[in-house]
Structure 1
Amino acid sequence: MPRAPSPDYLKKILTARVYDVAIETSLDAARSLSRRVGNHVLLKREDQQPVFSFKLRGAYNKMVNLPKAQLDLGVICASAGNHAQGVALSAKRLGCRAVIVMPVTTPRLKIDAVAALGGEVVLHGESYSDAYGHAVELQQTQGLTFVHPFDDPDVIAGQGTIAMEILRQHQGPIDAVFVAIGGGGLISGVASYIKAVRPEIQVIGVQTRDSDAMVRSVRAGKRVQLGDVGLFSDGTAVKLVGEETFRLTRKLVDDYIIVDTDEVCAAIKDVFQDTRSILEPAGALGVAAIKQYVAAHKCKGRTLVAITCGANMNFDRLRFVAERAEFGEQREALFAVTIPEERGSFKRFCELVGPRAVTEFNYRISDERLAHVFVGVAISKRDEADKIERNFVRHGFATVNLTDDEMAKEHVRHMVGGRSPLAADERLFRFVFPERPGALMRFLSSLHPGWNISLFHYRNQGADYGRILVGIQVPPQDRAAFDAFLEELAYPCVEETDNPVYRLFLR
């Protein structure tokens, strides 16, 4: 059977119907980020769409072009997020039935959002693949039309209207446009328009390290299916890209950049600082890639566009994003430092840290001769971590740089502690002190050298006040003197020596 001719995507994009439901989003200058990277960074704000994602463009363009008989029967899709909301809103606008099959693991926030738009939510399976299989069954039994999230010419054309807007909104030079890739619908549409109208502009695709199906497929020359994908950037977590999107991406896209979780978290923070908007991880891939691109090419004065393609962020992810952004920005370094268990060594180490902001300090007595301290220090650029490490070593403190150690960042930082047979006469206190530069070191320096610190836990949480949990070994005969010391110290504190949690896990 002869192959059907390829669609004329320029014509399809120019005639796409998206503005019945979508808005023309702004192209905003990221002024703070532009100053930091020395280039002109523009953000195409698809996070401003009514469903906080670009997906409704393609969904509506597909549905509005269906024959009336098909539309009257209704549509169906499988999605755990943005595409589901785009289909549901489009169906509401067109007055047709929309069945949305979602995995049972879908957050309640997204289920409620689809239902509020009038979509009939069907929960099935534990993954997108399970939901997709069930959607195909329902399509066949109920005569519904399947609206694919990316591998459909009308969907691709709808997404391509973003590029049409970019080139209309900024008619001056553009060096590159950075586009997140999941299944490939967005970049296929964007590249189809840009290469037809302004072929000198580079189109650069962005994927995460654990969801790079398109990059692997392009390198292999055929579609490669991943066995598993990471779910942090759930909007781009696709195991197998589309046939048509693979064809277009392979043909039109100039280059690819792979970003990691920390870089994405830092990019979310970058966009927040410039716009006060919080992107979902997939929405920040383009910004993360721009920073990596500038660092690799050492370019200055170029005009670089990132499509911020979504803002459907789960609230419970914000703590993780805030914490990991410091590593992605290369503004925090972690170390394991070994110091002698002898009087004065702790203070000597604190003096060595100097005026630097301490972001984390964890310690539990475990050896009569040596103390192992887990410490985080604020830095302004990555090579500072190596200089700090060398300085610690030069002054006699064995040090391991943990800044790039995933286990340290994910787990060990929360696990320093436990019971210790060496913690005799230990009393436990929670202290509160004003969170300002040098406050932690002043607190440590003010502790009486005659009483041994046997436990210490501090983590800067970005609050106005710092909170410390500290264990101090106080012999019975020193209790009166110790109480007088606490009164003179004048830091608000609560004794937790009798706390059942302490007795269960630390005593």
Structure 2
Amino acid sequence: MEAQKTPTSTQQDQDLALSYLRRIMMAPVYDIAKETELSFLPKISTQLNNDVYLKREDQQPVHSFKLRGAYNKLQGLTPEQRQHGVIAASAGNHAQGLALAAKSLGVQATIVMPITTPEIKVNNVRHFGAEVRLIGKSFNEAQQACLEFVEQEQKTFVPPFDDPDVIVGQGTVGKEILQQLADVDAIFVPVGGGGLLAGIAVYVKQIAPQVKVIGVEAEDSACLKAAFDAGKPVDLDNVGLFADGVAVKRIGEQTFDLINKYCDDVITVTSDEICAAIKETFEQTRVIAEPAGALSLAGINKYCQNSPGNEKLVAILSGANMNFHSLRYVSERCELGEQKEAVFSVTIPEQKGSFRRFCQALGGRVITEFNYRFSDANQANIFVGIRLSEGAQERRELIATLEANDYQVQDLTDNELAKLHVRYMIGGTSQNTTQERLFSFEFPEYPGALENFLNTLGELWNISLFHYRNHGSAFGQVLAGFEVNDNEQQEFFEHLQDLGYEWAEETDNPAYQAFLNHR
């Protein structure tokens, strides 16, 4: 979608932009940060018919660009502020960047983290010399405690993105790109709260206004797109968990003001497309990008579907602090993101030879997954993955071929419930759950989360289905079924609200109806 542009630039706007330009050019970040490499990606460039480069912010001492903004903020502190120390609420790269920046300047840093924060992140922050306070079951609770400490202990709060000093520090990435590739055509920037995009956009548009600056967001945490649609920053109802480095519910006020004036466009990408970009990055550089770090390359992949070609495009690998346990998820989903695999629900006759005849209808294509359990004397539903060589067009042609052979086909390639839960539960149909309602939940990873769930719901309604998955994040993904009578629905939903977890009803999801529901 096109970014909404301010019709005219006032003198005040021009003065502010020039101020940012001067400050970015003079920012003292190189006392601690590196000027990172701009790596050419030959294989991807050939595939996309464009010259694609990767700005390697994974090479920073904390493996993320966040060090730049944090250090620039701390450099501007008064002696009194340095004496009292700095504080932030973060469970990610901002915490590590601030911890190292503070250590290098002899300033005591305090990081407030939710108790759900994985231990590896806590230990990394402590390694850089910061004090860690584990408070609250969510980021919002940690943030509230952080602000209370600011008042009580007179510490300086260091925001992760919505601060002029932080924006200036992040903007040095844009300065380096123009120095390293003067004839760049477009720069693709990952977006969470907008600090990196704001800093790069305001700098680049003063020096080289012809260069396109394009933000890239995760589809399930697209707070910038929501702000463009509304004309101002707005809160998202919820955000996805996979790309946790950009899982922000609301774009910053100051960052949005700059982005609205100087950003050309914003692209959204799916989790599967991010996984594909992580794989591509690894194959080209042997670096494992974190999901937020691979956003930009995923954005370039989508941009090139309709680009003229022969452009010089830069993706910013913003971070490489990947949780090891997330790699399984990436491996499962990358071929879907590359459109090299399709996932279908197909109804076949329950008779001898049906599977062989179905394979023949595929025309020699490779089956990547096949799930089936007997449940009906006349017909069977199979959950099948099929390898593709020509992407979405081949998927559509395959569906048409199967339907021409009298198969009932449902395309589940873009069905998150099917890919996250149902594929592991084939054959779980119950004959007794005629009033089952299905819900997905985000479970916080702290002791007592399951007990809280059972105390709120499990003591009052029979749990007829339960499936849990976690890939190393602060939240797990849960699918649960409940037997709820018609006269109990109001009471049930009141208890759902009291639970305090993110949830969504999935009873009508076609993957559930095909494989798990009583038919």
Which TM-score bucket, shorter chain as reference?
0.7 to 0.9
Secondary structure of the 2:266 match is strand
In the other structure, the counterpart of 2:487 is: none
Cα distance between partner residues in 2 of 1:240 and 1:368: 52
What is the CA-CA distance between 1:226 and the residue it aligns to? 2.2
In the other structure, the counterpart of 1:178 is: 188
In the other structure, the counterpart of 2:70 is: 59
Cα distance between partner residues in 2 of 1:253 and 1:26: 24
Amino acid at match of 2:365: R
Cα distance between partner residues in 1 of 2:92 and 2:190: 16
In the other structure, the counterpart of 1:311 is: 320
What is the CA-CA distance between 1:419 and the residue it aligns to? 8.0
In the other structure, the counterpart of 2:246 is: 236
1:184 and 1:246 in contact (8 A); partners too: yes
Cα distance between partner residues in 2 of 1:222 and 1:385: 39
2:25 to 10, 14, 23: 14
1:59 and 1:87 in contact (8 A); partners too: yes
In the other structure, the counterpart of 2:362 is: 353
1:386 and 1:401 in contact (8 A); partners too: no
Is the radius of gyration larger for structure 1 or structure 2?
A: 1
1:259 has 2:284 as partner: no
In the other structure, the counterpart of 1:364 is: 373
1:87 has 2:98 as partner: yes
Secondary structure of the 1:342 match is coil
Give per-residue Cα distances to partners, 1:133-169, cap 9 Å, x unaligned: 1111111111111111111111111111101111111
1:270 has 2:280 as partner: yes
1:107 to 102, 107, 118: 118
Secondary structure of the 2:215 match is strand
What is the CA-CA distance between 1:318 and the residue it aligns to? 1.0
In the other structure, the counterpart of 2:434 is: none
1:205 and 1:253 in contact (8 A); partners too: yes
Q: TM-score, normalised by structure 2?
A: 0.77
In the other structure, the counterpart of 1:289 is: 299
Secondary structure of the 1:364 match is coil
Unaligned runs of 5+ in 1: 422-507
Cα distance between partner residues in 2 of 1:254 and 1:419: 50
Cα distance between partner residues in 1 of 2:173 and 2:58: 12
Please list, as runs of the form range in 1=range in 2, the aligned pairs for 1:76-475 lying within 5 A after superposition: 76-171=87-182, 173-295=183-305, 297-380=306-389, 381-418=391-428
Please list, as runs of the form range in 1=range in 2, the aligned pairs for 1:25-44 lying within 5 A after superposition: 25-44=36-55
Amino acid at match of 1:131: A
What is the CA-CA distance between 1:420 and the residue it aligns to? 9.9
1:83–1:349 distance in 2 versus 1, CA, 3 Å: same
Cα distance between partner residues in 2 of 1:61 and 1:49: 15
1:136–1:180 distance in 2 versus 1, CA, 3 Å: same
1:46 to 57, 65, 78: 57
Cα distance between partner residues in 2 of 1:382 and 1:315: 30
Give per-residue Cα distances to partners, 1:273-316, cap 9 Å, x unaligned: 11111111111111111111111x24211111111101111111
What is the CA-CA distance between 1:125 and the residue it aligns to? 1.4
Give per-residue Cα distances to partners, 1:184-207, cap 9 Å, x unaligned: 110111011101101100111111
1:239–1:369 distance in 2 versus 1, CA, 3 Å: closer
Secondary structure of the 1:83 match is helix
What is the CA-CA distance between 1:364 and the residue it aligns to? 1.1
What is the CA-CA distance between 1:418 and the residue it aligns to? 4.3
Cα distance between partner residues in 2 of 1:221 and 1:350: 52
Task: Give the share of equivalent positions with the same residue, in percent.
Answer: 52
Unaligned runs of 5+ in 2: 1-11, 432-519
Q: TM-score, normalised by structure 1?
A: 0.79
